[in-house]
Chain A
Amino acid sequence: MLAEVADTAQAGALYAWLSGLREAGELPAVAEIVPAARTVLLDGAEDVRALTALLATWRPAGGSGPEGPLVEVPTVYDGADLAEVAELWGVSPEAAVRIHTEPRYRVAFCGFAPGFGYLTGLPERYGVPRRATPRTSVPAGSVALAGPWTGVYPRSSPGGWQLLGRTGLTLWDTARDPAALLAPGVRVRFTAVRPG
């Protein structure tokens, strides 16, 4: 079952509401709850009718749900595409770093790879296109932009996002609970640090 809502904030709020109900044992059994840009997928529902009835009682409120934990991401802003992004924004690279470290972000959803979070928070006017030719290998920890989203590559992989910099944080570790540092609902702030 795919629940469709107006925007990413509402998807986050619906996901938070459903997760809260599940923790309280008040959600009909489902295998997966997967938030995304404008939808929340409920996979493996045992009682579709009960779930549909419950969803009908949800009323979108303001904001995108309860505040998740805040994660600081110390970032060295020396990415291969920093100059190009600054040019797209019509500012200096130093100003581009200020623009990127200013907002309080929020993980809207994960996908692409385990622990790859799609972060909202960058004002819409700073959206950038994906690279015309994806890189065959983007290093783990790369802080990157595409469309309205910011993300951090949890491991080395191919990728087409614009690279602003890198962080030494471990984004994904299956020996840790939770394995994903940037799980849906987590708040994120990027801080500029010197290489070292």
Chain B
Amino acid sequence: MSALAVVRPGPLTTVQDLGRRGVAHLGVPRAGALDEPALRAANRLTGNDPDTAGLETTVGGVALRALGPLLLAVTGAPAPVRVDGRPAAWGAALAVPDGALVEVGAATHGVRSYLAVAGGIAVPPVLGSRSADLLSGLGPPPLAAGTVLPVGPPPAPRPRPELVPLPAPPTELVLRLHLGPRADWFEPGAVARLAGDRYRVAAASNRIALRTEGPPVDRARSGELPSEGMVLGAVQVPPDGRPVVFLADHPTTGGYPVVGVVPPADLAAAAQARPGTPLRFVLLRG
């Protein structure tokens, strides 16, 4: 069986597929690739099914040794790719020989690059997914030097795209927002201002949530909200008033009011926005 040996894990590299479904009632986050279109693209380039597990890097890249001849593709945040020290294409399928050193460098823009390998990262699934869930510790731990990741049998040959279009990482992050379910917990003026005010992506952002810096959203109601279920993209406002946009590793229930929900289509850009990126919310009606 082929495999990938981790030479340098980078600051944070995890195994991700499209995540866990149907277990939120047990307190299990969905996890999965934060930039889902980028993982899907890498899988298309290597002929994999869309839900095949690949690697998600964070800013600093990863270095791997191919154990067996492999077909790879790197997408997501643009980064220099090298095979045995020679520059190779980002966003395209690469055939690498047995023993080759594959390096994904630091992202030149954006945050998260995705590396897919034909056959997928074949670690054992947990509750139907191979994703690492950093909130609850399910799935494989973040990569460490020396880890050997098994690679599954390559899929039957099928037509593969040569290139896949991906949006550039945002210089300004614009997140649409459906108000509710607890918008009435906030001052009406504060909710209206949320759309006009300037925010920035905070450094404390991670796979659990995109944190923001900016003017606080003031509450109209004090007191505690009993815990309730939360969806991907829920924008919760803790007592400090700074909106928190929940991403893939979000807790399944929460006790602070959710002022609105960002549609899933906008979250890939949120996954690629670096700390300090200007952020605006655009209110959706209805």
Contact = CB atoms under 8 A, between A and B. Distances in A.
B9 to A, nearest CB: 24
A36 B229 contact: yes
A37 B137 contact: no
B25 A184 contact: yes
A106 to B, nearest CB: 15
Contacts, number: 85
Contacts of B137: 155
B26 A183 contact: yes
Contacts of A36: 226-229, 253
B228 A32 contact: no
B230 interface: yes
A32 B22 CA distance: 5
Contacts of A41: 24, 228-231
Interface residues of B, number: 24
Interface of A is mostly: strand
B104 to A, nearest CB: 30
A33 B228 CA distance: 11
Contacts of A2: 181, 228-229
Contact of A111 (B22, B138, B231, B252): B252
A112 B26 contact: no
Contacts of B230: 41
Q: Which residue, B22, B25, B228, has most C-beta atoms of chain A within 10 A?
A: B25
A175 B82 CA distance: 39
B142 to A, nearest CB: 18
Given A36-B229, A109-B227, A111-B227, A183 B25 contact: yes
A155 to B, nearest CB: 7
B28 interface: yes
Contacts of A179: 23, 26, 127
B21 A110 contact: no
B161 interface: no
A132 interface: no
A118 B27 CA distance: 11
Given A2-B181, A43-B229, A110 B127 contact: no
Interface string A110-122: 1111111010000
A178 interface: yes
A114 B134 CA distance: 12
A40 interface: yes
Q: Which residue, A34, A38, A116, has most C-beta atoms of chain B within 10 A?
A: A34
A155 B138 CA distance: 12
B126 A34 contact: no
7 contacts: A2-B181, A41-B229, A41-B231, A109-B25, A114-B26, A116-B27, A179-B127
